[in-house]
Structure 1
Amino acid sequence: MIESLISDILFGFTGLISIINPIGIAFVFLDRTSTLSDEQRRLLAKSVAINAFFVLLAAFFVGTPVLHFFGISMEALRIGGGLAVAVSGWQMLNAPEPEPRPAMDDVALADTAIVDTEGNPARAPAPPGNAFFPLTIPLTTGPGSIATAIALNANRTHKLSAWLLSSFASIVISALVMVVIYYVYSRAARLANYLGVEGTRVAMRISSFLLLCIGVQIILTGLTGFLTPIADLRNAAP
């Protein structure tokens, strides 16, 4: 039983992480948060990771009933979500290069520092409210990862012991994915500094192109799942 539980956790975690690809999306995250400070980016990465945790839990536990309730097929989820991912990748791929911001010396930083009513440095402003859309959905936990989470629990048994083990595995998988997302996203700037300006630009363009390709692949997977039964019916017809 323990061996089966560990196997289910490792299988689900590796499958979701390979689809989410946090290292590649980290450059997309960095591009979308280029105007934020390191502390703001860290807080935003924490919000995205927590959001991703709850999105995956929702997909694990209520994904299949919700799709059935609204009459949405898995193919429709893949096509619609893949289109959203592809559009985001296309926009980022064709976005103009940002102008380099001039470095600020210590005097300039002192002149522009924000202070409270007692003269103490104020806390950094809160990051913009884009943690859920588009940073969590569809860029991090997109249709591919949601469909994978739904598929992992599509055949969940109603036997209490097996249901409890499956539920525990789903929670652990979601928590592990959350930790990885936060760790990678919060250190995206360090990775960019390691690569340098030109290296970061190249990495961002490659990540944008890969994001576009991922979206197209998700659409093709949905179309294949939709058209295959139709082709089978035509072939089976006398």
Structure 2
Amino acid sequence: MPHFFDLLLQNTITMMAIVDPLGVSAIMLSLLPEGTTKETISKIAFKSTLTIIVAFFIVLISGNFLLQLFGIEIDSLKVMGGIILLLMAIKMVNGSSESKNQTKEERVETLRHDEFSIIPLGIPITFGPGIFATVVIIRNQSESFAAISAFILAYLLVALTVYLAFKNSIYIRQYLGITGSKIITRLMGLIVGAIAIQFIVAGISVLVKEYYT
């Protein structure tokens, strides 16, 4: 049981840092026009959270199959996933935002589509390549029932946090302010960067032993 809670805590922290609920909630607000009602935000929060939960279970079930289908080794994915996470971490530390390239007209147009909660907010802003690779890697490392259960529960806790962050995004922005949100995102970026380095080093070390020994 202590091992279960250790895995639960470790997986929750890892995925929480990668998803960065406060950061993506700020992106969501930046994509929405001013004057968006709380009721609309609540609906978007529910639909986007449901989207990332469905995406998680699809990747959880089919991740290994996709690796086998394309003949990709898990250690190669660790290296590539680590590079993706490292690039994400650099953007987070630098305070970059995916929404900066969108004009106000594009943001209004985005809201007109009911799919906004699914694309782009759910996928790929919240459930992007970084969390995709992380889910496949952790799933591959989770061999026991307890490890898989801890992994699933950890992600559901992250999804719940995303829902609460989206639903209360207006209050969070008022409480933390722009500076507070940036500080938290940059701290998460440091954690994501450390996770990325671990993935890259672990993957490269195995590949080097496999191909050069």
TM-score (norm 2): 0.65
Q: Deviations over 1:137-160 (max 9, x none)?
A: 235x3422331123224x78xxxx
Tell me, which stretches of 5 or more residues in structure 2 are unaligned? Answer: 101-110
Letter matched to residue 195 of structure 1 = L
2:127 counterpart residue number: 136
CA contact (8 A) 1:53 1:178 kept: yes
Say which SS state the counterpart of residue 31 (structure 2) adopts. Answer: coil
Say which SS state the counterpart of residue 127 (structure 2) adopts. Answer: helix
Alpha-carbon offset, residue 25 of structure 1: 0.4
CA contact (8 A) 2:18 2:192 kept: no
- For residue 13 of structure 2, the aligned residue among 14, 18, 25 is 18
State the structure with more CA Rg. 1
What is the distance in 2 between the residues matched to 1:175 and 1:200?
23
Tell me, which stretches of 5 or more residues in structure 1 are unaligned? Answer: 100-123, 157-164, 234-238
1:236 counterpart residue number: none
Q: Deviations over 1:44-69 (max 9, x none)?
A: 44344323322332343332232122
RMSD: 4.0
Q: How many residue pairs align between the two structures? A: 194
Alpha-carbon offset, residue 133 of structure 1: 1.1
Letter matched to residue 27 of structure 1 = L
1:215 counterpart residue number: 196
Q: Deviations over 1:112-142 (max 9, x none)?
A: xxxxxxxxxxxx7443721211321235x34
CA contact (8 A) 1:53 1:177 kept: no
Q: Which has the higher helix share?
A: 2
Q: 1:194/1:17 Cα in 2 relative to 1: closer, same or farther (>3 Å)? A: same
Q: 1:88/1:167 Cα in 2 relative to 1: closer, same or farther (>3 Å)? A: closer
Q: Which moved more, 1:60-69 or 1:203-212?
A: 203-212
What is the distance in 1 between the residues matched to 2:154 and 2:19?
20
Matches within 5 A, 1:1-238: 13-21=8-16, 25-33=20-28, 34-36=30-32, 37=36, 41-94=41-94, 125-126=112-113, 127=116, 129-130=119-120, 131-139=122-130, 141-153=131-143, 175-230=156-211, 233=213
